[in-house]
Structure 1
């Protein structure tokens, strides 16, 4: 519900769980008054504004009448908590939008013009966006002080979850071109800076490594300039009160529905106010906005919790599953997946793949995916990318697919649409299709491949036509969409000098364009995102792809960190996780960890012993019985963090609270220890039988006493799965 209270000049957004109040001051600026747990009214606006406004308003000089004045309403522009700061005046904290006008001026000062209250949320053209249900939107139009440049500021609050979505739309009505030098998606000002800050750093095979620090004076930033959301930092971050825990205290999570360069920036001034801006990274960003055109910023998503980290996390999970993912069959059962890559890499033929299919069935597989190596001249990673036709000398794909479907398995295949190798027909015929200046003597190459210029619609069309030709002929149920390098030489030969600052963003728009066109044409195909593992694990990709390969690191001990940390911001149903042939730990341990993700296999199935097949089949049966109801649709609780303890433990509970799966794993060997794992989310009045010792206890008992893992000895990497089922 959104209301405007004219006497107090307050906008109030609320879902009766949280409240967001904005004050429209007499100078036309929007001040953030309150964001937090539901507050039915603001009894005294000035009391909240007092710390920065009491007899200390900003002074200004009127050129028109040559006199000095003081801002009305005790407004101090460089100290007020604002929804959108100005740029080029005395507020130096950092504006979310910076415009360079025709005369070269950077002065950007947006003032209130009008507002509308909308049922629903605006659909963003050419960008992924939140769904239009269970949500109301406040649309505030602001006008630049000196020119006909308008900003539509959207604040959308969901009524079924504590999620707030923000973004800006910039409109040029000046009659000439303007330049946008910064176009972020939100500004969020806080009353204090007494928070800790969590972000997720990393690298290839070590994605989303948990990092926590105090918010301190000055500037702190989390950014990506890799052309994708990146392994190095993830766009999911959160602030938490210094006394907050998993179940108590204030926690505010942020994410961006975008897959390219981003910047999350915090600034704390000497008065200890926290100023946050978030959106597209403004490094090498400059957008020419023509008259009567719009620039739409990606939607930023805020999850608010006054019940600790897990509630913030659960908000994001619910939002992604119910208000973001667009795959039409996402609510249906997803098959156990077998991927060929780690079993054979590039070395295979028709008969070997058919043998893989036959043996994969013995471990419960229901979807077979032929990975890299089936197209062009592709027997290694030096050649073939960009030539998306079947290498018929290597594999009879019609025969493979028919065999797969005859065995009642679905069939999937691998693509890397945004890349090309120097030794390919596509590059030979179209050397201008890659990023980089024609005159460059040295071009960066990663994994022996160039990045295609997806800012050029002709390039996107070429790849689209190749993929359509293939998909119209071959009956495919699933596509793994890979992206194995970052952007360098971000120069497009398609655009002129004055538009080179647009290339990073246009590459992302090209990615979305191709995905969107293919999904519209083939709605039955499920797309899974991938970028050298988890290098593009973000909300923008999840809009199109209901799951993303989490990491190329499938070792279960490393995976407990990666999957646990990823699940703080993203639901388990989106986290691609497979059992591989690593020899250090048992297949059962690997399978149990993969169970708390999408679950699948990546190995040579011909080499499995009967005992190993039996181990894997047992976990596959658990997947088929419980995964949809408990893991995918259920509520996730984080019990022990592997970063902070010697254990990793998570619990998923079905929505009707009749079933629960608990995973518990230790890292290092321990002798006799007291280990009680208190559970969450159960119905305290229901009785549950556990698979650990087949005892029956009440939900209250499990939550207040817990499961007793106090063994005399607990070997390293010991992993336990406990299943709870209601006894009626």
Structure 2
């Protein structure tokens, strides 16, 4: 799947090829992404044109400019005026950088990303290229990872910044994925929306300058989706070139596409740098989230099929082999907040012999919950609605070969709740600033160990004492 020949890496899937060249000065250059090709010289992709009023650079015997070179991972402040792929600030406030190739490794399988959602793959599913480069200005080591999933035409990418110096630095940007395209006409497809109308398709031509979508809400959210596709104008559902990108991450994100002054197009995807800064102490490292990309010459449908195969085979619980998928009846729209023991027992009886094997009690089963104004955070059974707890419900489920599930939203809390009255300091807040509420809710601060431990204990007791088989974890 991965070959190295004449200073070029060839990342081959069943139908695609992605090429990276090590330039003669140690620069990492992006040479090609498209239909699968044989190993060959790709120098013809590089212009040899002198550009007035630009910083000249000679690569492979041809004079060009830094702002036209197809960098694999763009630096900042050394002649390239396009947006960078990373920014690292030293103790003097400098953010200038310049990457030079150091070494590489090719291995079977895929390295884990500690604490992050990611594709799951064993040694037979993927092959990974790890490129090590040094920022010769700050001394920080940048590691670029490319995991090739041959069967699904997917390449996953992430980046690590390693501080081998004795000084603390600050990461202000570390993109998961970056790529430069040669001059061409492209259109951008993104997904926008709002609550209850998510993922509307928007398609528009790229303009000179930067086109960008993202989130600074702390979550990906329904406003923008961490997905984008770059397509040629003639691309349809079943024909044309498509480059698809997605980020496996639920926090702030940003996708950017920029047409530069020489008609090249640069794209990047990763954590949104707008509100991001990470203190990287000596001998520590930071890992970006995982991004995935695919190329299709068969239009949007080809891209969709590759992403669908990837999700089914490698993403989280979807990839679990031979797992029984539950057939779930969620009772929210049948009852809303007006649920009680008698109604639910009748519903379970109606489900007998229908094939439904899991009944989920949605919002309203806990605390003193009657509407959205109170009790959020009180994750114990509402004894007014269920006088014996879930005892009768569990017995009826067992009788009908069903499991019981519950709805929770453990990141949020109402002021009118036992949890808030006991721990008002657990909420995210600023001194002397009134916190904002959405749907009468405040957000718990899971950056604090006591909040994590406290909520873990509450939920552990709920789930294990009641033999809960299924959890619907909402986030509104």
Match of 1:32 in 2: 30
Match of 2:42 in 1: 45
Return the offset for 1:273: 0.9
Match of 1:274 in 2: 265
Counterparts of 1:24 and 1:328, CA distance in 2: 35
Alignment counterpart, residue 473 of structure 2, candidates 457, 474, 481 = 481
- SS of 1:368's equivalent? strand
Is the contact made by 1:57 and 1:76 (CA closer than 8 Å) also made in structure 2?
A: no
State the aligned residue count: 470
Return the offset for 1:56: 5.9
Q: How does 1:62-461 map to 2 (within 5 A)?
A: 71=58, 73=60, 74=62, 76-133=65-122, 134-326=125-317, 331-361=322-352, 364-395=355-386, 396-440=389-433, 442-461=434-453
Counterparts of 1:41 and 1:183, CA distance in 2: 30
- SS of 1:155's equivalent? strand
Return the offset for 1:362: 6.9
Return the offset for 1:333: 4.1
Return the offset for 1:363: 5.5
Is the contact made by 2:178 and 2:267 (CA closer than 8 Å) also made in structure 1?
A: yes
Per-residue CA deviation, residues 31-77 of structure 1 (Å, 9 max, x unaligned), is 111111011022x432211x2x34569987xxxxxxxx954533532
Is the contact made by 1:256 and 1:300 (CA closer than 8 Å) also made in structure 2?
A: yes
Q: Unaligned stretches of 5+ in structure 1?
A: 61-68, 485-728
Q: Unaligned stretches of 5+ in structure 2?
A: none
| 2:1 matches 1:9 | no
Return the offset for 1:230: 0.9
Counterparts of 1:363 and 1:20, CA distance in 2: 49
Counterparts of 1:218 and 1:210, CA distance in 2: 22
- SS of 1:394's equivalent? coil
Q: 1:58 to 1:89 in 2, by over 3 A?
A: farther
| More off after superposition, 189-198 vs 360-369 | 360-369
Counterparts of 1:192 and 1:163, CA distance in 2: 24
Q: 1:72 to 1:57 in 2, by over 3 A?
A: farther
Counterparts of 2:446 and 2:155, CA distance in 1: 31
Per-residue CA deviation, residues 615-643 of structure 1 (Å, 9 max, x unaligned), is xxxxxxxxxxxxxxxxxxxxxxxxxxxxx
Per-residue CA deviation, residues 345-400 of structure 1 (Å, 9 max, x unaligned), is 22222112111212234765332111111212212211112221222232131211
Counterparts of 1:382 and 1:58, CA distance in 2: 63
| 2:20 matches 1:22 | yes
Return the offset for 1:223: 0.8
Kindly report the root-mean-square deviation, in angstroms, between the aligned alpha carbons of the 2 structures.
1.9
Q: 1:459 to 1:11 in 2, by over 3 A?
A: same
Match of 1:686 in 2: none
Per-residue CA deviation, residues 248-301 of structure 1 (Å, 9 max, x unaligned), is 221111100100111000100132111001101111111111111111001110
Counterparts of 2:52 and 2:137, CA distance in 1: 22
- SS of 1:382's equivalent? coil
